[in-house]
Chains A and B, each alone.
Chain A
Amino acid sequence: MGFFDILALVIPATIFLAAPLIFTALGGLFSERSGVVNIGLEGLMVIGAFTGILTTLYLEGFGFGVWSPWLSLIAAVVIGALFSLLHAVASITLKADQIVSGVALNFLAVGLSVFLVRNIFGKGQTDYVAHRISRENIPVLQDIPIIGPLFFERVYYTSFIAIAAAFIVWYVVFYTPFGLRLRSVGEHPMAADTMGIKVNRMRYIGVMLSGAFAGMGGAVFALTTAGNFAGNTIVGQGFMALAALIFGKWHPLGAFGAAIFFGLAQSLSITGQSIPLLANVPQVYLLIAPYVLTILALAGFVGKAEAPKAIGKPYEKGSR
């Protein structure tokens, strides 16, 4: 097997496995940059996947055909944002422990979605959707030698949206007034309050954006890879996205790079058996790599990852 064949095997798989992670990690970035820990990303992805599949099935029934999955992505974004309100209300308004609230969100997402699936379909998983988000050849670009077949043949548009989103979020968070306010309530809420920024409102926006992005991430995974929804459709992708966010040091492009890297580790753990050099490496090393690397990054062995200063603390006016 030649070098190019290996690349042709690994690169497309990496990009398409990374897309849901990119979306979700960017979502987590909004929440955590505003000072609210979001362990609930996993649950938000579950809700996104559930909404994506269910809406697609219904829209197909109404005759929307190939447009159904695309419209469902919008539905998943909206429902994801609404569902994240639970976390926002509990952890911002009711000053609940943000980690506990996130844990509860994960429980609730799986329980509620599987409960509804069982109630609607009478079994533990949904039917398969007829129209997934399809793989397309990008015109013109696919004709570029070498790069074309690797990056632009049989690809998902959602992967490119994910990559674009990373750069847009980077711009928004670091070069707009909104981004500055978001970061300021996460670093020093009292100073932000003094400057007239509504701390809790910014945090609500941060958490709801995380719900929207994670909902998108879950739906993209369900509508490209899974094709149906069950309790085990989303198993750990949300936590891996959280890891990508931390490994990327709470920076949009860092999170993007980390998500691509974790996507690579995942794709190697799947395709590794057919790659000569990796065939003898036990799969387990690739499976645990993202998590071990994140721990090492936190401990400062791979560049220090520092969280926003005010993360995890509810804001009380007048407290110091």
Chain B
Amino acid sequence: MIHKWLTGKATNILIPIIAVFLGILVGAIIMLFIGQNPFTGYAALINGAFGDIYYFGEMLRMMTPLILAGLAVAFAFRTGLFNIGVEGQLIVGWLASVWVGVAVEAPMFIHLPLSIAAGAIAGALWGFIPGFLKARFYVHEVIVTIMMNYVALYTANHLIRTYLLVPGERTERISTTASLASPFLQSLTDFSRLHYGFFLAIFACVVLWFVLWKTTLGYELRAVGYNKHASHYAGMNVNTNIILAMVISGGFAGVAGAMEGLGTYGYMSILSGFTGTGFDGIAVALLGANTSIGVFLAAALFGALKIGAPNMQSAAGIPPELVDIVIALIIFFVASSYLIRLVINRLQKEGK
């Protein structure tokens, strides 16, 4: 299933582009269907994301957790694992980073890395459980990670309510020594909530690329993803690699949560439902074909869509949920690449 997506370089680049195009096209048809002008709608969307430096800053801010969540999904994908639990890993990462950010007192050069590391470790731990169950008991990771999402949500809310609650249904604000907030970046972007985490996300892209393609560990992880049995025969420890892949994937997701806790908000609220970022990470990874650059670009697209959406409502009277529909359709089209491949192959054969 997954390795099919990794063959044929040109087709690999073409498929996401065609999928995005088809998604936007169907979105336009839906706008026509409700009696709106698609050009006005999409103009409002683009204007909403890029029309003002403030919104551009917000878009970059939005991208940060999306990139990290996308990397988390992509990393697991490469080892043949489907991590739907990024959402839950993100939640525990968010809570752990905020907890350390509130409770510990230390100078910034210790406190900030410590808080981020706390998020990563919490996420990694949350990823370890499905990885271990997969390796030891052959339990499918998809179901376990879905269940772990709910456990994370309710447990985090319970811990906040019991130990960290301040008025406003949230935790205390983290101390400034643990904060990623950047007055400099904020002043550049007309006081958006853009923070230093954005650069950390770019750095994480590089880390993913390096680990996967330039280390023995990455080679083994990808080998296990391609063919478990051949890897085992070649003397690799498949089970250890499965657990490691989930731990690292969860670590990325935990850092995504830390970005929300230490950068965007500076605290954690009691969540009435999922943040959605973890699930968007699945879309980001799929569209980005599980590559660092792809994930970055896909996160940019989805970030722009999400930040621009409210302007569709105010400027063109189109419900912002259109963006959610377009994202869902893009996933459908990427997943159904069988059809796109078929058409491309047919066209190529006729060309010859």
- Which residues of A come within 8 Å of B, CB atoms? 37, 39, 86, 90, 94-97, 99-101, 103-108, 110-112, 114-115, 118-119, 232, 235-236, 239, 242-243, 246, 282-284, 287-288, 291-292, 294-295, 298-300, 307
Selecting from B42-50, B60-68, B132-140, B184-192, the interface stretch reads B132-140
A95 touches B146 (CB 8 A): no
A108 touches B154 (CB 8 A): no
How many interface residues does chain B have, given as a range? 35 or more
Q: Interface residues of B: mostly helix, strand, loop or mixed?
A: helix
A101 touches B332 (CB 8 A): yes
User: Is B329 an interface position by the 8 A CB rule?
Assistant: yes
Q: How far is the CA of A288 from the CA of B153 in the complex (A)?
A: 9
- The residue on B at minimum CB distance from A301 is B137
A115 touches B331 (CB 8 A): no
Residues of chain A within 8 A of B162, CB atoms compared: 282
- The residue on B at minimum CB distance from A94 is B336
A-B contact pairs, 25 of them (CB 8 A): A39-B84, A94-B336, A96-B338, A97-B1, A97-B2, A97-B335, A99-B84, A100-B282, A104-B331, A107-B324, A107-B327, A108-B329, A111-B321, A111-B327, A112-B328, A114-B321, A118-B319, A232-B273, A282-B158, A284-B158, A291-B148, A295-B129, A298-B137, A299-B137, A299-B139
B144 touches A232 (CB 8 A): no
Residue among A105, A107, A119 having the largest count of chain B Cβ atoms under 10 Å: A107
Q: List 12 additional contacts besides A101-B335, A295-B139, A299-B133; criterion CB under 8 Å.
A: A94-B338, A104-B335, A107-B324, A115-B319, A239-B147, A284-B155, A284-B157, A287-B154, A291-B147, A295-B133, A295-B143, A299-B137
A115 touches B322 (CB 8 A): yes
User: Count of A-B contacts with CB under 8 A?
Assistant: 130
* Set B142, B323, B339: member contacting A99, Cβ < 8 A: B142
* Set B146, B282, B329: member contacting A242, Cβ < 8 A: B146
User: Is B216 an interface position by the 8 A CB rule?
Assistant: no
Q: How far is the CA of A90 from the CA of B330 in the complex (A)?
A: 13
B139 touches A90 (CB 8 A): no
Residues of chain A within 8 A of B151, CB atoms compared: 288, 291-292
Known contacts A100-B286, A103-B282; is-contact A288 B140 (Cβ 8 Å) = no
Residues of chain A within 8 A of B148, CB atoms compared: 291, 295
* Set A101, A107, A232: member contacting B279, Cβ < 8 A: A107
User: Is B283 an interface position by the 8 A CB rule?
Assistant: yes
Name the 10 nearest CB pairs between A and B, nearest first.
A111-B324, A107-B328, A108-B328, A118-B319, A284-B158, A115-B321, A96-B335, A104-B331, A291-B147, A94-B336
User: Is B252 an interface position by the 8 A CB rule?
Assistant: no
* Set B1, B84, B140, B324: member contacting A298, Cβ < 8 A: B140
Q: How far is the CA of A101 from the CA of B335 in the complex (A)?
A: 7
B331 touches A107 (CB 8 A): yes
Residues of chain A within 8 A of B272, CB atoms compared: 232
User: Is B226 an interface position by the 8 A CB rule?
Assistant: no
Q: How far is the CA of A295 from the CA of B139 in the complex (A)?
A: 9
B147 touches A111 (CB 8 A): no
Shortest beta-carbon distance from A80 to chain B in Å: 17
Residues of chain B within 8 A of A298, CB atoms compared: 133, 137, 139-140, 143-144
* Set B137, B142, B158, B283: member contacting A300, Cβ < 8 A: B137
- The residue on B at minimum CB distance from A113 is B321
Known contacts A104-B332, A291-B151; is-contact A119 B319 (Cβ 8 Å) = yes
User: Is B34 an interface position by the 8 A CB rule?
Assistant: yes
A115 touches B325 (CB 8 A): yes
Q: How far is the CA of A185 from the CA of B84 in the complex (A)?
A: 27
A246 touches B143 (CB 8 A): yes
Shortest beta-carbon distance from A314 to chain B in Å: 8
User: Is B150 an interface position by the 8 A CB rule?
Assistant: yes
Q: How far is the CA of A100 from the CA of B155 in the complex (A)?
A: 27
A111 touches B335 (CB 8 A): no
B140 touches A90 (CB 8 A): no
Q: How far is the CA of A108 from the CA of B282 in the complex (A)?
A: 14
